[in-house]
């Protein structure tokens, strides 16, 4: 009450009070409102595009959680969310300004001060203005992204929407191909490593063969083993004959002497061949050479297999990277609008009239309360 009394005593309010009691103030304000919408307000045309993202490869991404309930592929939904953020990004704004001189298109409207963009406006102001002129609406059920683009002429709205559509397709292709390029780079590195490893293994194998003058110690060792086995068999056979002859011949018999000579010769040959296999010199032992040769052969074969796998991998990756793994699907293309979408002049005028009337009623009620407490 003290506040109302102090307000009542203000000379300015006393002069304004009779005017506030009249509904003419609402009419007076509505004259400015109607004049603004009929003479000043800039028509804003809207061109809409509806987009979706689908995968065109044969891989099926598992769907889980909320996405499985509403039937939307989680990978596609994630791509649509990325696209939604990208359309409202500063990067998109810069590209549009470079491609279609977006700032000049918006700055050409100078009649309506509420929707005017100055040609020398800062990047931050331009960015906020752009975000208000481009609306993105994501349908969680279908996964469709609707982009509504405002322009001050039908041609401008369509031009901006087409530019956004073109850049959106490039963006989807880019995020789709970036993973493939990373895989390609990794496959090329692995191929280079496998090739280097294979070449090293071959060089070591060739150096080993040249150093010891052997082609295949494994086969040589096998041949030597077969030879010693044959000699041992002959020795056993001759010794058996000698034992038999000793039962009916004396030790000086020519047959006995000949058999003993043959047995001694065979034993010397056996010792000679055995020494080649198990020589006291580690560098000359055939079994040691065979073991080392086997290690080098296994390493070379393993390197060859790894190189073959790397070649197959890089060819598969090259095929995958040359195709569009994901594709931007245009459900509704950018069309040229015929009628302005905004402002909704009749609706806005009536809404403002109702609001001013409500404000007038509140102010008049306050004035009546003040009058009652005047006395």
Number of other residues whose CB lies within 10 A of the CB of residue 232: 14
Whether the predicted pLDDT of 4 surpasses 60: no
| 87 falls within a domain | no
CATH number of the domain within which 286 lies: 1.10.287
Residue 230: what are its φ and ψ, rounded to 5°?
Answer: -65, -40
Q: What is the DSSP letter of 113?
A: G
Res 221: pLDDT: 60
Do the beta carbons of residue 137 and residue 318 sit within 8 Å? no
Domain extent, residue 270, equals 184-324
**Distance between CA 230 and CA 4 in Å, rounded?**
131
The dihedral region occupied by 112, where left means phi > 0, alpha psi between -120 and 50, and beta the remainder, is beta
Q: Enter the tokens of residue 363.
A: 């102010």
> Strand, helix or coil at 120?
coil
| 136 falls within a domain | no
Res 365: pLDDT: 81
Res 59: pLDDT: 46
| 360 falls within a domain | no
| 269 falls within a domain | yes
Nearest CA to 34 out of 359, 356, 339 is that of: 356
Do the beta carbons of residue 231 and residue 239 sit within 8 Å? no
| 306 falls within a domain | yes
| 338 falls within a domain | no
Q: Using CA atoms in the order 359, 363, 364, 368, what is the torsion angle rounded to 10 degrees?
A: 150
DSSP lists the bridge partners of residue 329 as 52
Enumerate residues 6+ apart whose C-beta is below 8 A from 301. none
Tally of domains in the chain: 1
| 210 falls within a domain | yes
Strands 45-55 and 134-138: unpaired
**Distance between CA 160 and CA 158 in Å, rounded?**
6
Q: 103 or 243, which is more confident?
A: 103
Q: What share of the chain is helix, strand, coil (3-state, %, to 5)?
A: 70, 10, 20
- Band (69; pLDDT cuts 50, 70, 90): very low
The residue-averaged pLDDT of 38-44 equals 92
Res 152: pLDDT: 94
Whether the predicted pLDDT of 343 surpasses 50: yes
Enumerate residues 6+ apart whose C-beta is below 8 A from 105. 151, 152, 156, 159, 160
- Sign of the CA dihedral with 329 first, then 332, 335, and 339 last: negative
Per DSSP, the chain holds a count of helices (H) and strands (E) of 13, 4
Cα 305 to chain centroid, rounded: 30
Mean pLDDT of the chain: 79
The residue-averaged pLDDT of 192-203 equals 86
Alpha-carbon distances of 282 from 63, 169, 270, 276, 290, rounded to whole Å: 64, 69, 20, 11, 12
> Strand, helix or coil at 24?
helix
Alpha-carbon distances of 366 from 2, 47, 357, 362, rounded to whole Å: 14, 47, 14, 6
Res 34: pLDDT: 93
| 192 falls within a domain | yes
N-term to C-term CA, the chain: 13
Whether the predicted pLDDT of 106 surpasses 80: yes
- Band (74; pLDDT cuts 50, 70, 90): low
């Amino acid at each position: 009450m003290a506040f109302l009394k102090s307000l009542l005593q203000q000379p300015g309010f006393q002069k304004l009070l009779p005017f506030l009691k009249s509904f003419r103030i609402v009419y007076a304000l509505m004259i400015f409102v109607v004049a603004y919408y009929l003479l000043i307000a800039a028509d804003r045309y809207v061109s809409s595009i509806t987009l979706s993202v689908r995968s065109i490869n044969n891989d099926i991404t598992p769907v889980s959680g909320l996405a499985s309930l509403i039937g939307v592929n989680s990978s596609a939904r994630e791509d649509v969310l990325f696209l939604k953020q990208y359309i409202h990004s500063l990067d998109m704004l810069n590209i549009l300004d470079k491609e279609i001189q977006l700032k000049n298109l918006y700055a050409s409207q100078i009649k309506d001060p509420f929707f005017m963009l100055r040609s020398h406006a800062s990047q931050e102001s331009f960015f906020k203005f752009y975000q208000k002129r481009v609306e993105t609406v994501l349908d969680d059920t279908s996964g469709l992204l609707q982009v509504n683009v405002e322009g001050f002429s039908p041609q401008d709205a369509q031009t901006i929407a087409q530019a956004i559509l073109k850049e959106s397709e490039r963006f989807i292709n880019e995020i789709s191909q970036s993973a493939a390029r990373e895989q390609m780079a990794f496959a090329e590195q692995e191929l280079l490593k496998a090739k280097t490893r294979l070449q090293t293994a071959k060089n070591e194998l060739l150096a080993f063969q040249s150093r010891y003058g052997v082609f295949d110690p494994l086969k040589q060792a096998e041949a030597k083993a077969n030879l010693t086995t044959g000699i041992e068999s002959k020795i056993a056979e001759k010794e058996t004959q000698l034992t038999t002859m000793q039962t009916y011949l004396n030790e000086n018999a020519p047959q006995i002497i000949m058999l003993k000579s043959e047995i001694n010769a065979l034993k010397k040959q056996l010792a000679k061949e055995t020494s080649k296999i198990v020589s006291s010199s580690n560098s000359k032992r055939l079994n040691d050479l065979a073991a080392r040769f086997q290690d080098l052969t296994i390493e070379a074969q393993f390197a060859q297999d790894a190189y073959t796998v790397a070649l197959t991998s890089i060819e598969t990756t090259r095929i995958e990277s040359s195709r569009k793994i994901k594709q931007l699907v245009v459900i509704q293309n950018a069309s040229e609008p015929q009628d302005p979408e905004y402002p909704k002049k009749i609706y806005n005028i009536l809404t403002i009239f109702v609001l001013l009337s409500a404000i007038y009623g509140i102010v008049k009620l306050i004035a009546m309360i003040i009058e009652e407490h005047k006395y």
